[in-house]
Amino acid sequence: MNKDINFDFDRQNRIGIIEAIWGEHKNVDQLKKICEQVLDKNELVFITRINFDKAKLILETYKNAEFYREASCLIIGKNFKKLSTDKKVAIVAGGTSDLSVSLEAKLALEVHGITCKTFIDVGVAGIHRLFNNLEDINKFDVIIVCAGMEGALPTVLGGLLPQPIIAVPISVGYGVSKMGFAALNSMLSSCAPGISVMNIDNGYGAAMAALRIIKII
């Protein structure tokens, strides 16, 4: 590993988004080195896709670190440049199998100062559950929708509500679901106009898309 890590410390000043640290393919020494550099700048450490074993070793070094196991995210420190806004984001998920990606999106928004709420288990297989929550979902300014299987949930919401909708295909489903590709293709083919589609399981990307929208509305 190189001695110096080229972390983008100016990203938040430039575009209002904290640089997240991808934890899945970095080893613990690399992650600790990045943490040290970021904290020395009095910036927030936000690690995504980090497993329990790696997180445990980082928690031993940084006692103030917080590990969110269900979201596979780890946070150290505070964001002193949070966005001041009354705009809110709803995170809607078809089932509890979508929870990890939903919580990743929620945490990514909250560290930027955005108020959000998750609506879990409101998938189209029991569409009455969605209708029971529709009035509450409609109170939010941007909607992130996470769904696996055939990925129909964003299209249903896109036909019912006017807000910007950011769809996230989830790598959940049998056989031809193909680890989220069926949901991805379904969302890209949606007949509800204007839906934005993220890559498979990209909760963080959906959160940042929502943040960009909020900054201009």
Q: Domain holding 160: CATH number? A: 3.40.50.1970
Phi, psi of 200 (to 5 degrees): -60, 130
Asked if residue 4 is part of any domain, the answer here is no
Task: State the burial class of residue 119 (Cβ atoms within 10 Å of its Cβ: 0-12, 13-18, 19+).
Answer: buried
Last residue of a domain, one of 76, 99, 130: 76
Whose structure tokens read 């031809």?
176
Whole-prediction pTM: 0.91
Neighbours of 75 (CB within 10 A): 19
Q: Averaged over 39-45, what is the pLDDT?
A: 90
Indicate whether 79 pLDDT > 90.
no
Neighbours of 141 (CB within 10 A): 18
Last residue of a domain, one of 76, 99, 116: 76
Grade residue 1 by pLDDT with cuts at 50, 70 and 90: very low
Considering the domain architecture, whether residues 48 and 107 belong to the same structural domain is answered as no
Considering the domain architecture, whether residues 96 and 149 belong to the same structural domain is answered as yes
Q: How far apart are CA 190 and CA 202, in angstroms?
A: 18
Q: Which domain holds residue 26?
A: 11-76
Indicate whether 3 pLDDT > 60.
no
Considering the domain architecture, whether residues 45 and 114 belong to the same structural domain is answered as no
In the chain, the number of structural domains is 2
Q: How far apart are CA 77 and CA 42, in angstroms?
A: 8
Q: How far apart are CA 2 and CA 4, in angstroms?
A: 5
Asked if residue 99 is part of any domain, the answer here is yes
- Residue 143's pLDDT is 98
Last residue of a domain, one of 28, 55, 76: 76
Considering the domain architecture, whether residues 104 and 36 belong to the same structural domain is answered as no
Q: Averaged over 163-180, what is the pLDDT?
A: 92
Asked if residue 2 is part of any domain, the answer here is no
Considering the domain architecture, whether residues 102 and 47 belong to the same structural domain is answered as no
Q: Averaged over 59-88, what is the pLDDT?
A: 92
CA angle 23, 28, 33 (to 5 degrees): 90
Is the distance from CB of 9 to CB of 43 less than 8 angstroms?
yes
Q: How far apart are CA 132 and CA 137, in angstroms?
A: 10
Considering the domain architecture, whether residues 28 and 103 belong to the same structural domain is answered as no
| Nearest Cα residue to 105 out of 70, 80, 140, 137 | 70
